[in-house]
Amino acid sequence: MASGKTVKEVAELQNLCVEAVRIRRRKWLKHGLASLPDQPRSGAPSKLTDEHRQQLAQWVDAEALSSREILTRLVERYQIQIGATTLRNELKRLGYVWKRTRYSLKKSATPSGSSKPGKRLRD
């Protein structure tokens, strides 16, 4: 913008929305270089410390546990209660990936002879 470009042109060049460029410009004009680093975010601080995260990693590495079992262990050992989403996010930050358990068998692409409509089994 110092070279004469408009807010819209800068937004297009940086692949941002126009309002984001305006907000950043206002912060720059008000605070200068101090506006560049991220500021503290809103929301509650994390209930989990590094010790808790290490314990989570040990539990997950030692055996296959459901999220409900991990949450129960956190309450029993540390009296910490967090939600399942928070637990998932913490485990993702620790580098763990998992898939949901399938509770039903996959259907066969070719049905068996006895299950075709209009066919009867012979006695």
Residue-wise pLDDT tens digits, 32-44: 888 877 777 778 8
In a domain, 25, yes or no: yes
In a domain, 107, yes or no: no
Distance between CA 58 and CA 55 in Å, rounded? 5
In a domain, 83, yes or no: yes
Distance between CA 38 and CA 42 in Å, rounded? 12
In a domain, 18, yes or no: yes
In a domain, 33, yes or no: yes
In a domain, 121, yes or no: no
Domain span including residue 11: 1-37
**Mean pLDDT, rounded, of the chain:** 83
Do 54 and 80 share a domain, yes or no?
A: yes
Residue-wise pLDDT tens digits, 2-21: 889 999 999 999 999 999 99
Distance between CA 52 and CA 67 in Å, rounded? 15
- Are 67 and 87 in contact by the 8 Å Cβ rule? The answer is yes
- Are 51 and 41 in contact by the 8 Å Cβ rule? The answer is no
Which tops the pLDDT comparison, 100 or 89? 89
pLDDT at res. 64: 84
pLDDT at 55 over 90: yes
Domain tally for the chain? 2
Do 28 and 54 share a domain, yes or no?
A: no
47: its two tokens: 């209930």
Report, as an integer, the average pLDDT of 77-87: 93
